Each structure stands twice: as C-alpha cells, then as structure tokens.
C-alpha cells in the first residue's frame, strides 16, 4: 500500500499531478482543492488512496490527510465512486464537505458536477454520525472527547477540531469569537465552520 508520495511535481494539469519519486513519475488524480496547493517543479507530499481493478491501478492524491479522509468517507457511501468524491471535494474542499454533512446542507453537495439530490441525501444520511455525532468526534480530526471530564472544555475541543481541518489558530479564534459559551461542541464546530465559509 502506498501511504504518501513525496517529490517534485513534474506535471500539473486539471485533475492530474505527477510526483517523481526515485526516477519514477506517479500520476495521481487530484481535486481542484489539492491542485491549488501545488506548484510545478516544487516538492510536495500527496497522501494516496489506491483503486486497483483488473484493468486499472489508479492513484488519488490529496494535499492533506483531512482531505484524504473525506475522500475515504465519501467513497464508502453506496453509489459514490471516485469521480463523484473528487467532484464534491473540488467544489468546496474538506471544510465545506464537513459543513454540508454536519448541517444537512444538500445544496453544498449538489453544487458538485454530477451529484444529484438523492446522492446528496444518502451522503448526509450515511456520514452524519461519522463526521459529527452527539459527541462531535470527527473521525478524521484526531480529537478525542472521551478523556475530557467537563463540558466547559467544549470551546477547546471545537477549536482543536477546526485546527485539525486546516485552519490556523488565529482564524479559529476569530470564527469562534461570538459563539455561545454554553453551546455544545458540535454546535460550536458548526458555528465556526459557517463563519469560515462566510468569510471565504
């Protein structure tokens, strides 16, 4: 299994990046979100998901583990293949995908090419508990809530979860500035994501 590739980007085209490792160029299908973070002839690390079939061996590359995890979640949904998953992540990145699932916003998902209302509803239904349940333990955030003894730590948990999604500490602090201190961690994460999207 290839976990990640690290090397210069020798080819960068819409939907494709070639990473050179040890004299071999590995072609990776990528999202627009990842493409925006790559530069031709500069070294980059892409986290890899492989798709092996009888007639093909495809590599899907992501600039962050968060986006890689989102892709894995999406392709675990019945009826969502690699193409649809890449389209959804290209449309808004991992942050908007997370926001869409947590808030049940079908429009954010159907904004992706080839994703209809039924697929969007299925994604929300199947992934809502995995992306954010009553304890808001984002599967791909690395934030563990079980060890936290008091509800007063909701703000700290929400802040950590948002930072794991790729936001800086300053951005998170600004986004959570007006949040209700008595809100649950899940509500705080949703509030913070909404503020990020509105500013972005």
In the structure, what pLDDT confidence band is assigned to residue 172 with cuts at 50, 70 and 90? confident
Q: What mean pLDDT value characterizes the chain?
A: 83
pLDDT of residue 70: 94
**120-124, 141-145, 158-162, 167-171: the lowest-pLDDT one:** 141-145
Whether pLDDT at 14 is above 50:
yes
Contacts of 63 (CB under 8 A, 6+ apart): 33, 34, 37, 38, 44, 45, 46, 47
Q: What is the largest CA-CA distance in the chain?
A: 55
Whether pLDDT at 72 is above 50:
yes
For the stretch 34-69, pLDDT in tens is 999 999 999 999 999 998 888 889 999 999 999 999
Count the neighbouring beta carbons within 10 Å of the beta carbon of residue 30: 27
Contacts of 33 (CB under 8 A, 6+ apart): 63, 67, 89, 90, 92, 93, 94
Helix or strand or coil: residue 154? helix
pTM: 0.67
- In this structure, the strands spanning 43-52 and 16-21 are unpaired
Enumerate domains of the chain plus CATH numbers.
4-63 (2.40.50.140), 66-131 (1.10.150.20), 151-199 (1.10.8)
């Amino acid at each position: 299994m290839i976990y990640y590739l690290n090397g210069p980007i020798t080819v960068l085209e819409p939907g494709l990046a070639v990473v050179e490792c040890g004299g071999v160029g590995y072609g990776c299908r990528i999202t627009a979100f990842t493409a925006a973070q790559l530069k031709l002839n500069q070294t980059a690390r892409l986290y890899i998901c492989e798709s092996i079939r009888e007639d093909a061996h495809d590599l899907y590359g992501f600039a962050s583990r968060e986006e890689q995890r989102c892709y894995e979640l999406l392709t675990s949904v019945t009826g969502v293949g690699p193409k649809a998953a890449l389209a959804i992540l290209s449309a808004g990145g991992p942050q908007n995908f997370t926001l869409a699932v947590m808030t049940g916003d079908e429009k954010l998902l159907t904004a992706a090419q080839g994703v209809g209302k039924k697929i969007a509803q299925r994604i929300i239904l199947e992934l809502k508990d995995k992306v954010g349940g009553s304890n808001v333990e984002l599967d791909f955030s690395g934030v563990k809530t079980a060890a936290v003894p008091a509800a007063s730590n909701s703000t700290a948990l929400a802040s950590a979860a948002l930072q794991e999604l790729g936001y800086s500490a300053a951005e998170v602090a600004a986004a959570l500035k007006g949040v209700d201190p008595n809100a649950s961690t899940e509500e705080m994460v949703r509030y913070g994501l909404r503020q990020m999207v509105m500013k972005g």
